[in-house]
Amino acid sequence: MVVLQRRFAAMGIVVMSLLDATFTLNVLRLGGSEVNPIMAYLIELGTVWFFAGKMTLTGMGVWLLVRASDHPQHRGPSALTLLRLCFFGYATLMAWHLILVGRLT
């Protein structure tokens, strides 16, 4: 069951990261701004750099958490807990993007 939860959370994070990038570009087109300085820099370099950088950073983070969740940890939150928190954080961000698009259109 834990393996299934880990896979679902990991895939969900990657998919929502891709959606986040798409929503971000739409919000920028509608007059919004990017608040993350790293992503703002990548956007200045171009759409391909932005998508590549975002997916690379997200993918590496998810990969590290999945690998770490294979090993029990004695202190602090588990890697699976962190994966779940990232998943729900991205789900909240998706809701925020929908609100922003609604306000800007």
On the question of pLDDT at 73 being above 70, the answer is no
- Would you state the structure tokens that stand for residue 70, as one six-digit string? 């294979």
The pLDDT of residue 28 is: 92
The pLDDT of residue 77 is: 78
The ranges assigned to domains in the chain are 2-104
On the question of pLDDT at 82 being above 80, the answer is yes
97, 23 contact by CB (below 8 A): yes
On the question of pLDDT at 85 being above 90, the answer is yes
pTM over 0.85: yes
Mean pLDDT of the chain: 91
The pLDDT of residue 67 is: 87
Rounded-to-integer distance, Cα 16 and Cα 94, Å: 7
When pLDDT is averaged across residues 63-84 and rounded to a whole number, the result is 82
Would the CA dihedral through 66, 72, 73, 76 be positive or negative? positive
DSSP state of 84: H
When pLDDT is averaged across residues 48-72 and rounded to a whole number, the result is 92
